[in-house]
Amino acid sequence: MRARGVTGVLFEDLEAEPHAQKLADGAWVQRGFALNVQQPLVAAIREVVAAAPWRHLTTPGGHRMTVAMTNCGALGWVSDRRGYRYDAVDPDSGQSWPDMPAVFLELASRAASEAGYQHFVPDACLINRYDPGARLTLHQDRNERDFTAPIVSVSLGLPATFLFGGDKRADRPDRVRLFHGDVVVWGGPSRLAFHGIAPLKDGEHALLGRHRINLTLRKAR
């Protein structure tokens, strides 16, 4: 059970039995799947951010992204005037990205397995922070070399509206509410589905305040 509201209302997530909701062929929302490891996840995120602080990337077109982000793992996703790509080095520090925390790897492997994708071992994790008003436009995850591996996306903090469409940008996306602890897994026939996040509504979450944090785990190489 979850309390929902408008600006100033405290959002709390209470333990509930996880269950899966099918989005499309090969795509699932696993409700509450990450709730039992929420505290270790948040602690690990803070350690990553201490080593590789939040930043707002620039798109190839010169636009500043509203979502703040960082990375961990062998590779990090970056964007600038030269394009979108993966890089083993944090361009802000010149150092390797922080190691991927074990709790990320274990959760992603379990979630993928539950969705029918066995032996998923991500080598890249994008960590996105959404403040009220931040959004992510419809896009495909296609900078990876191997499209047979799924995408695993973990939602923490404020609720968000996930937009999940088809293999064409013009396809009208479904609007799916995601809550703290929900995990989305998509692959197979849905691997290149267009997806995004509608502008985040304001609120206050008991653990993360006025933020939504999303972990997107991928096998980039």
pLDDT at residue 35, rounded to an integer: 98
Summarize the confidence of residues 91-109 as an average pLDDT: 98
The residues with which 139 forms a beta bridge, in sequence order, are 195
Residue 5 belongs to some domain of the structure: no
- Which residue range is the domain that position 143 belongs to? 20-218
Summarize the confidence of residues 10-28 as an average pLDDT: 73
Residue 72 belongs to some domain of the structure: yes
Residue 9 belongs to some domain of the structure: no
DSSP 35: G
Summarize the confidence of residues 88-116 as an average pLDDT: 98
pTM for this entry: 0.91
Structure tokens at 89: 């080095």
Distance, CA of 45 to CA of 72 (rounded, Å): 9
Residue 11 belongs to some domain of the structure: no
pLDDT-based confidence at residue 8 (cuts at 50, 70, 90):
very low
CB atoms within 10 A of CB 21: 12
How many CA atoms, within 13 angstroms, populate the side-chain half-sphere of residue 138? 16
pLDDT-based confidence at residue 139 (cuts at 50, 70, 90):
very high
CATH of the domain at 86: 2.60.120.590
Checking if the pLDDT of 133 tops 90, the result is yes
pLDDT at residue 58, rounded to an integer: 94
Residue 176 belongs to some domain of the structure: yes
How many domains does one find in the chain?
1
Checking if the pLDDT of 17 tops 90, the result is no
Residue 7 belongs to some domain of the structure: no
Residue 175 belongs to some domain of the structure: yes
Residue 105 belongs to some domain of the structure: yes
pLDDT-based confidence at residue 16 (cuts at 50, 70, 90):
low
pLDDT at residue 5, rounded to an integer: 34
How wide is the angle at C-alpha 135 spanned by C-alphas 39 and 73, nearest 5°?
Answer: 50
Checking if the pLDDT of 34 tops 60, the result is yes
Dihedrals phi, psi of 66, to nearest 5 degrees: -75, -20
Mean pLDDT estimate for the chain? 92
Checking if the pLDDT of 213 tops 70, the result is yes
